[in-house]
């Protein structure tokens, strides 16, 4: 039987109360959101917080809204809400495509956007999604809020720039026109973590690629991103040859490790194939929007 080690439990009543509780209990306290990564780690003693601070009552962090420039997603938005959000998916269908292959429907009822990003598992699908979308993350603590680009949010496996007395409160995605986005993932069985996953976002301007985002999960890409392939695409016409070259570049610029999910060369092969598919579909959708 797996049970967590003894803990104290606090339930935060508001964002400011959560920050106050984190400051009061110090570095041995941890936020618990959906708990679907933290509790399994606590059962295995991979995490041993002395105090867990439950933020599930913070309705103020559960919203998806758009203004004229940005989509804003609160940290407590569940996977299931993001998957079913008309507003988020109208701008970026990549959300629904990724969410349908993240875990299973019951886990998606609990796991949150903030928890996924803060967990920083190298296979975390939403990390690749937000990398492709070049999102920013709002982090809030005693000294107010700061906004960091997703490309400097993760500083290693299971590590982020969030300080012990801070919370991730919001993810911001800039809105674009003539944009298409898509997600591709190969897993061993339904509901499993990916062997490799690729998210793509393409903006077309007069038939040329004016912005490209490629996010990679499970293959140890720096900051979940294929920067070299993104740069290669800029200013080019999206021909089959250009896409094939970008996919090859993406597959060469990540560091997948052999594990029970497969050998390294197989994972690189998947990155190439999935990047091709995701780019093709993102480009098709960008064209549908008209240029």
Partner 1 sequence: MQVSMTINGEQVSREIEARLLLVHFIRETAGLTGTHWGCDTSNCGTCVVLMDGVPVKSCTVLAAMANGRNITTVEGLETNGELDSVQRGFIEMHGLQCGFCTPGMMLTARWLLDNNPHPTDAEIREAISGQICRCTGYENIVRAIRWAAEHESGTGHNITEGIGA
Ligand X SMILES: Cc1cc2nc3c(=O)[nH]c(=O)nc-3n(C[C@H](O)[C@H](O)[C@H](O)COP(=O)(O)OP(=O)(O)OC[C@H]3O[C@@H](n4cnc5c(N)ncnc54)[C@H](O)[C@@H]3O)c2cc1C
Report the interface residues with partner 1, using CB under 8 A.
Answer: 1-9, 11, 32, 35-36, 39-40, 43, 52, 54, 56, 103-107, 109-110, 190-191
Instruction: Compute the least distance from the CB of residue 62 to ligand X, in Å.
Output: 11
92, two tokens: 């970026």
Task: Give 20 or 54: the residue with its C-beta nearer to partner 1.
Answer: 54
By a kind-dependent CB cut-off of 5 to 8 A, residue 220 interacts, out of ligand X, partner 1, none, with none
By a kind-dependent CB cut-off of 5 to 8 A, residue 6 interacts, out of partner 1, ligand X, none, with partner 1
Q: How many alpha carbons lie under 13 Å from residue 278 in its C-beta half-sphere?
A: 34
Residues 201-220 that bind ligand X (CB under 6 A): none
Q: How far apart are the first and last CA of the chain?
A: 58
Question: Considering only CA atoms, which of 67, 52, 277 is closest in space to residue 186?
Answer: 277
119 binds ligand X (CB under 6 A): yes
Region from 4-12, 66-74, 100-108, 256-264 binding ligand X, contact rule CB under 6 A: 100-108
List, as own/partner pairs, every contact residues 213-216 make where C-beta atoms lie below 8 angstroms and the sequence separation is at least 24, other chains included.
213/131, 213/132, 213/133, 213/134, 214/131, 214/132, 214/246, 214/250, 214/275, 214/278, 214/279, 215/127, 215/128, 215/129, 215/130, 215/131, 215/132, 215/133, 216/128, 216/131, 216/250, 216/254, 216/271
C-beta separation of 134 from 153 below 8 A: no
- Main-chain phi, psi angles of 166, to 5 degrees: -120, 160
Site string for ligand X, 158-197 (x = CB under 6 A): ----x----xx------------------------x----
Region from 3-11, 108-116, 208-216, 252-260 binding ligand X, contact rule CB under 6 A: 108-116
Residues 249-268 that bind ligand X (CB under 6 A): none
Return residues touching ligand X (CB under 6 A). 30-38, 75, 79, 102-103, 107, 110-112, 114-116, 118-119, 124-126, 162, 167-168, 193
């Amino acid at each position: 039987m797996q049970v967590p080690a003894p803990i104290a439990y606090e339930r935060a009543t508001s964002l400011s109360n959560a920050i106050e509780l984190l400051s009061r209990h110090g570095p041995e306290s941890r936020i618990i959101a959906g708990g679907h990564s933290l509790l399994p780690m606590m059962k295995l003693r991979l995490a041993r917080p002395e105090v867990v601070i439950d933020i599930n009552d913070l309705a103020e962090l559960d919203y998806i809204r758009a203004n004229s420039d940005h989509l804003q997603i609160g940290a407590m938005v569940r996977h299931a809400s993001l998957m079913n959000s008309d507003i988020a998916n109208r701008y970026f269908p990549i959300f629904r495509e990724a969410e349908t292959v993240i875990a299973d429907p019951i886990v998606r009822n609990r796991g949150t956007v903030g928890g996924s990003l803060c967990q920083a598992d190298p296979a975390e699908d939403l990390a690749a999604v937000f990398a492709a979308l070049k999102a920013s993350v709002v982090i809030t603590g005693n000294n107010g809020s700061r906004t960091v680009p997703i490309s400097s949010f993760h500083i290693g496996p299971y590590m982020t720039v969030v300080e012990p007395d801070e919370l991730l409160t919001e993810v911001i995605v800039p809105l674009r026109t003539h944009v298409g986005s898509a997600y591709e993932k190969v897993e061993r069985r339904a509901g499993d973590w990916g062997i490799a996953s690729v998210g793509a976002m393409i903006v077309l301007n007069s038939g040329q690629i004016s912005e490209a985002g490629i996010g990679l999960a499970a293959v140890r890409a720096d900051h979940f991103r294929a920067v070299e392939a993104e740069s290669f695409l800029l200013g080019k016409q999206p021909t089959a040859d250009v896409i094939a070259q970008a996919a090859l570049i993406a597959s060469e610029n990540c560091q997948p490790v052999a594990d029970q999910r497969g050998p390294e060369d197989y994972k690189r092969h998947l990155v190439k194939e999935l990047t091709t598919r995701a780019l093709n579909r993102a480009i098709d959708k960008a064209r549908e929007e008209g240029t």
